[in-house]
Amino acid sequence: DAKRLGMAPSAWARGGEGVTIRWTIADTSLGALFVAATDKGLCRVSFDEDADELRRRFPNATIEPGDEALADLAAHVVAAVESPDRDQDLPLDVRGTAFQEAIWQALRTIPIGETRTYSELAALAGRPAAVRAAGTACGQNPVSIVIPCHRAQRIGGALGGYAYGLDRKRALLASEAQRADLQE
């Protein structure tokens, strides 16, 4: 299942030991986007990061510059930033707790142009009282854009946080809302 996880839990626990991670940096209208993947799928998509940060996250992995396959994958992620006509069903290689994974899966069900509150996400994950934990899970999302944590907000419409700044969150939401309006 491409939406599920790839790297073995033991490899994650050992800092990526035995795993090769390729990375690239792609230009977007919101700034440089760092994209990294294993042979199984995307493991990191973030703004304002570089290979040194990836090495800190996975100190025992082999970290290499990207190849053509990664360039193609990165182009799909850039397209999700620049022209979010539809969600990309891209392969992922991410790990989290069972609750984090449930939140990340719930985020992937939010249609472009829509948002959900942290309360709604917690309920979708089967733990309606775990609102703060839902927010924390959004903040720990390793593949921004692909798992659209920018679509999560507080009750009452307040944006809440975003690891890469509220200006980027606003821009992503505005772009998606505009695209959704055009499709109606």
Question: What is the per-residue pLDDT across 50-59, written as a single tens digit (0 to 9) for each?
Answer: 999 999 999 9
> Which domain, by its residues, includes 147?
98-183
Is residue 137 in some structural domain?
A: yes
Tell me: do 75 and 105 sit in the same domain: no
Tell me: do 131 and 175 sit in the same domain: yes
**Residue 64, pLDDT above cutoff 80:** yes
Active site residues: 149
What are the pLDDT digits (tens) for 29-46? Answer: 999 999 999 999 999 999
Tell me: do 131 and 172 sit in the same domain: yes
Tell me: do 106 and 174 sit in the same domain: yes
Tell me: do 15 and 63 sit in the same domain: yes
* Domain final position from 36, 58, 82: 82
Torsion region of 76: left, alpha or beta (phi above 0 gives left; psi -120 to 50 gives alpha): alpha
Q: What's residue 13's pLDDT?
A: 62
Q: Indicate the number of domains in the chain.
A: 2
Is residue 2 in some structural domain?
A: no
* Predicted TM-score (pTM) of this structure: 0.88
- Residue 64 forms beta bridges with which residues? 22
Interatomic CA distance for residues 43 and 36, integer angstroms: 6
Average pLDDT over residues 11-35: 88
Tell me: do 179 and 104 sit in the same domain: yes
Is residue 45 in some structural domain?
A: yes
* Domain final position from 82, 114, 142: 82
